[in-house]
Structure 1
Amino acid sequence: MAEPGRPLRSIAAPFVVVHPQGVSIRTRLKGLTPRDEEVLCRVGAHLGSLAGRDLADRCADGLQHTAQRWAERKRNLTGQSSSRWAGAITKATHDQWALSRRSQAAHLNTLDAAIGTIEHRLALPLGEKGSKRAPGGYRSRSEWFAKSRRLALLKERRTKVAADRAAGRVRVARGGRRLANTRHHLKEADLTREQWRARWEAARWFLSADGESGKRYGNETIRITPGGQISLKLPAPLTGLANAPHGRYVLAARVSFAHRGQEWADRVAADRATAYRLHLDAERGRWYVDAAWQRPPVRVLSLEAARAAGMVGVDTNADHLAAWRLDVHGNPVGRPVRFDYDLSGTAEHRDAQLRHALIRLLHWARRIEAKAIAVEDLDFADSRTRERHGRNRRFRQLISGIPTSRLKARLVSMAAECGIAVVAVDPAYTSVWGARYWQKPTSTTERKTTRHEAASLVIGRRALGHGARRRTAPPPHHRSDGAGHRTVQAERRDLGREEPRHPVTERVHDARSPAEGKRTRGTSASNTVRDARSTRAWVQNPFLDTVEER
């Protein structure tokens, strides 16, 4: 609950998440000859150098960039490559510059949050306790002094970043800033200088081309036939390496896409736009090809339709997903299900663990014939700063370990393929109210409901439009339903859940068991009928608010 005297914040309405419009698949290039690898390396290095120079020109233009300047840059690149390669390079440059601008804005927001938190804590007396909404003062004078110095450092850093943003300056490292910094820590990364150089050069190559509808097989620059044959248009200085007409080079390798292969083949056969990217994994020495395309926009399922068959509430945590099925009235059905994952290790291992957990979740949802999944619309942008929770490093690591962005992106795309809608709800008070209203009532002697499982109930109920509480307060002026329906669990017409209890007669309590002896007095037909009717008792389930006949 909220703190005493502090009002609850407003809770946003749930909404159905829009399905992704893009598709990307990947497969490995097998059977490349040494000649093929040499050609790919030379083409990638040449186009990579052009992309680097074009990015430098775009960053130098800053906010003064115009459409005429874009056309001029493309003309300069066309003579050293081709018109299509020049278009692909300039488009990739603009996308990279725009991404850097968005990252710059996010960095400013992070600095503002950290500066505001430190200023708030410095203004408080030493040792003053904080609350759930705001941290307290620092514990000691030395910590106060250290944070005051950090505040000056953050303000200076923010001044520089704000000046760069106002001037339109971005700082981009083609190949990745992390890999660039690894050059100074080769021993810690267990790499030699030659190994690092191979990864760095491969990361800076450029072998990407956007598709074009109406052209042969949907792409004139990098072309893949339905049979899997790959050919690419060579840049002007490298046309001497061509082994096919019109300055093209055909690779000896054949590719086939296992995932969405039929969908890709249909697009290629219809000459619909398909983008391709060739890249080398220098660590493994393997070449891969990515195919990507856009889907036509589809109509999003309405919220009322998503609620028609109940909901599956899912609570996201640092090491597992807690899911619970609910009916249309917000009642839990069955027991909760837990889907574990391990986010330690490499990025590939973490991504595989997350995909595996989501696959199990979606398969379970399809088995129980669920049509929608409710998740929290988490952000944690303010909570990830280290100034937010002071010395509570473990809690900061816990919040940072929850894969909110990647989980949402993968869940939406994977659920769209399974025909399951995703409903996003406000995450406010889900864990607190779940523990207060649902954790104890849903626990049994064999299994205790966890706080996360109880939170999944609140998430599902919020997506269905119900409140977090199991029952509303009694009517204010009398004990009937004069002031409105007494429960939020069911509708008014569901008499099976809300009808009054049938009376239990005295004869039921006084009836003797057959072991106590046989009846000595004959029973008339009318008494027999009344006895049979009176031996039925109606018992109300206190948890589901249902009435059962026994």
Structure 2
Amino acid sequence: MGDLSGGWSLGAVTGFSDRDGGDGVSGLREMAAPFVVPGPSGVAVRDRLRHLTAGDEEVLRLVGDQLGTLAARDLRARCAAGLEHDTEQWAERKRALTRESSSRWAGSVTKASHDQWALARRGQLAHIQSLEAGVRTIAHRLSLPVGERGSKRAPGGYRTRQEWFAKARRLHVLEDRLKVARADREVGVVHVVRGGKRLLNTRHNLKAAQLTEPLWRRRWQAERRFLQADGESGKRFGNETIRVTPGGEVSIKLPAPLAHLANAPHGRYVLAATVVFAYRGEQWRDRVTANRAVAYRIHEDTVRGRWYLTASWTIPPVKTVPLAAARTRGLIGVDTNADHLAAWRLDEHGNPVGEPLRFGYDLTGTAGHRDAQVRHALIRLLHWAERHGLAIAVEDLDFTTEKTREKHGRRKRFRKLISGMPVSKLRARLVSMAAELGITIVAVDPAYTSRWGAQHWQKPLTSTNRKPTRHDAAAAAIGRRALGHPIRMGAPPRPLRHWGRTAPPPHDQSDRAGHRTVQAGSGTPGREGNRPRIPGPRTRSVGAGRGANAVDQNAQHRPGRPTEHESWQQDPLPLSH
């Protein structure tokens, strides 16, 4: 298992990277500034409960079923209270549960009910926002004539009258759903399924899920069990309800109706299995030895026939380095894609260094296989950054509003593509794993990075030995934005020298590709000073240091200078000596 990282989002991002519009010239939305991503706020580790006896498994099922029934009853009471819930009702619920379990189990159950209700409220708000976006999109397209073409900024009308009619019906359906959802939110009504709505609906189509009714029933009961308890600092080994000693011995406090099953004093049941956390085991052992709070959860994997114990605890906030310090030696820009990470190293001036790298992953198969693929790709990326001592720049992607069919219409492949991108999992894994290695993560606004990267960087970086892809160019654009440099450039800049210019544009040493576009900033020291003296003759006729003063800009034919606007006239030739 990995760390539990806190959420991080720009908030202002309202599109799928750069694909929502923008012509690269005008009408661009305001870009959010890059920021250093805060570190993880908690840790979770898991180990298998090996060598459990049949009696141990039976006791765990009985305790989980008993507490699951109480948890379902308490969640129903919490949802019924809605917005009118207060501390007095909370205390009353806890007292009712204590009589049928214990005070500690009652505290864990009521807290879990509060967390579930709050999660349902957040999901309800996200659902309302999704419905509102769908209603706006359909209403706009219905208001346009049939067959009218859209633009980069707004969709056009529907293609046929049949499609227009079908979408008109769907608009009424979405408006009705939106009305019901808003009414529920105003009064605090939420809809929660303990065990999961997806698993519940699987019951109606067991053949497609390749399940039998007994197998589905077993999985359903396992998901509805309640075997989790929050820790408490100062108590023995950090948790009195589910106690794990530094040696790995696991014992649980039995509820009152099952106290006769105890095999240890004070109504406790000691399992025959022991746990050894291979990951962060020393940190966990230090916490339980010091009697610091550790939360535990026991659950059954019905597919594999195994039981697992998950331990979690909070950690102090990781101190992040300032953004200026993260930019000191350059960084690595990373472009996230559906099947790989495209990365390119940039120096502090925004110039790509070396060759781009690609870290692929396969997101087919089981959830465990997908998770392993993501971790494998990230660890290779992090090891590369660690070797060079660089920070990593990534896009702050959010596809919440991008997966609706109203947004992209018939583009099913594109919707499937962005739905398959493991944005949340990559983000959580990257932050937690980078914190362990001391690597800084910089998040940037994802707007127009792929478009401008391909437009301004893909061709200049192409050579006979290197063929960068659009994703490689996007990685360079992401890195430049994280470094504070503009993406849209006439030519890739080199480090600014004290006389305030860079090398000429591509092709050759002439200006056939345009005048120099990269000049020193207004605050650069010596930008208006003389150029340094270069040893040796610069031309065949003028020696070094003998030409016109470079400071006198009016003496040179440059755009925007007075000499460019003066009338040109050839001096008359003398008719005689």
- The TM-score with structure 1 as length reference comes to 0.87
Q: Is the 8 A contact 1:135 1:390 kept in 2?
A: no
Partner of residue 414, structure 1: 433
Partner of residue 269, structure 1: 289
Equivalent of residue 464 in structure 2, options 445, 448, 470: 445
The question of 1:129 aligning with 2:167 is answered no
Equivalent of residue 462 in structure 1, options 477, 481, 484: 481
Give 1:115-154 correspondences, 5 Å limit. Answer: 115-154=135-174
Residue 302 to residue 4, structure 1, CA distance change in 2 (3 Å): closer
Counterpart Cα distance in 1 of 2:45 and 2:27: 49
Encode CA deviations 1:449-503: one digit per residue, 9 max, x unaligned.
11111011111111111111445899xxxxx859x994479995799xx976946
The structural deviation recorded for 1:111 is 0.5
Give 1:424-443 correspondences, 5 Å limit. Answer: 424-443=443-462
The structural deviation recorded for 1:14 is 0.4
SS at match of 2:313: strand
The question of 1:395 aligning with 2:395 is answered no
Give 1:380-391 correspondences, 5 Å limit. Answer: 380-391=399-410
Counterpart Cα distance in 2 of 1:209 and 1:179: 24
SS at match of 1:173: coil
Q: Is the 8 A contact 2:237 2:290 kept in 1?
A: yes
Encode CA deviations 1:326-383: one digit per residue, 9 max, x unaligned.
111111110111011112233222222212111111111112221x111111112222
The structural deviation recorded for 1:4 is 8.3
Residue 201 to residue 103, structure 1, CA distance change in 2 (3 Å): same
Q: Structure 2: state its 5+ residue gaps.
A: 1-20, 494-498, 502-515, 541-577
Encode CA deviations 1:123-159: one digit per residue, 9 max, x unaligned.
1111111122211111111110110011111111111
Counterpart Cα distance in 2 of 1:204 and 1:73: 20
Residue 45 to residue 481, structure 1, CA distance change in 2 (3 Å): closer
Partner of residue 508, structure 2: none
Equivalent of residue 310 in structure 1, options 298, 318, 330: 330
Partner of residue 217, structure 2: 197
The structural deviation recorded for 1:389 is 1.6
Give 1:355-374 correspondences, 5 Å limit. Answer: 355-370=375-390, 372-374=391-393
**Amino acid of the residue matched to residue 400 of structure 1?**
S
Q: Whose RCO is larger (CA < 8 A, sep 6+)?
A: 2
Shifted more, 460-469 versus 222-231: the winner is 460-469
**Amino acid of the residue matched to residue 38 of structure 1?**
E
Counterpart Cα distance in 1 of 2:143 and 2:533: 61
Counterpart Cα distance in 1 of 2:460 and 2:180: 55
Encode CA deviations 1:60-115: one digit per residue, 9 max, x unaligned.
11111111000000000001100000000000000001000000000000001111
Q: Is the 8 A contact 2:351 2:492 kept in 1?
A: no
Counterpart Cα distance in 1 of 2:27 and 2:241: 60
**Amino acid of the residue matched to residue 39 of structure 1?**
V
Give 1:64-143 correspondences, 5 Å limit. Answer: 64-143=84-163
Counterpart Cα distance in 1 of 2:24 and 2:359: 36
Counterpart Cα distance in 2 of 1:506 and 1:89: 83
Partner of residue 528, structure 1: none
Q: Is the 8 A contact 2:83 2:187 kept in 1?
A: yes
SS at match of 1:184: helix
Q: Is the 8 A contact 1:329 1:491 kept in 2?
A: no
The structural deviation recorded for 1:319 is 1.0
Output the aligned Cα RMSD. 2.6
Structure 1: 4+ residue segments shifted above 6 A: 488-491, 498-501
Aligned length: 501
Q: Is the 8 A contact 2:229 2:295 kept in 1?
A: yes
Counterpart Cα distance in 1 of 2:141 and 2:364: 33
The question of 1:52 aligning with 2:72 is answered yes
Residue 272 to residue 5, structure 1, CA distance change in 2 (3 Å): closer
Partner of residue 546, structure 1: none
**Amino acid of the residue matched to residue 276 of structure 1?**
Y
Residue 347 to residue 399, structure 1, CA distance change in 2 (3 Å): same
